[in-house]
Structure 1
Amino acid sequence: MAAGVSNRRAAATTAIGYADETGVQVVTKTVNGTLTTELRGTNGFGYDPIFVPHGHHRTYAEMSSEEKNAVSHRRLAVDELRKALNVFN
């Protein structure tokens, strides 16, 4: 889809929320990065083989699960929601 795109900057964002009788809490986390011009790696799913998080040289798909989880927008959002809910602190 991005074969002819010269600006390779990208962002991956996750929004996660929780609702109960007191209301709704939503947190959003974004990881900036770049898109590669070719598929790299075999781990993960979706855009993982073409997304390189800022400050790294490998795609999500080239990282181990542990490495990816340390910098994943999904993990960051879950951690932020836990803090907001004061869970597992």
Structure 2
Amino acid sequence: MPDTNLSKTTKDDLMIVLGDAGVNYYENERDALLKEDLEVWPITFFFVRGNHERDPANISTYVEQPFNEGKVLIEPDYPSLLFAKDGAV
């Protein structure tokens, strides 16, 4: 892992990423490689999907999970990568 300020974070910390992070963009193994790289960081990512990413609701590997009185979409292989549901509050 690169030496950054993230070295003091844990999976209990949340980084909000507002659109076009490139996750679910290529729809091939490149997406899996990015997700694997992100999963090892000691932080949980909360993505608000941008217009250059495929909607996780339309990807069969994603499941809905409760989160903070709402729901998010996750892939069980990458439990630290949370996606906001489009239109959810």
Same fold (TM over 0.5): no
Greater C-alpha radius of gyration:
1
- The TM-score, its normalising length taken from structure 2, stands at 0.26
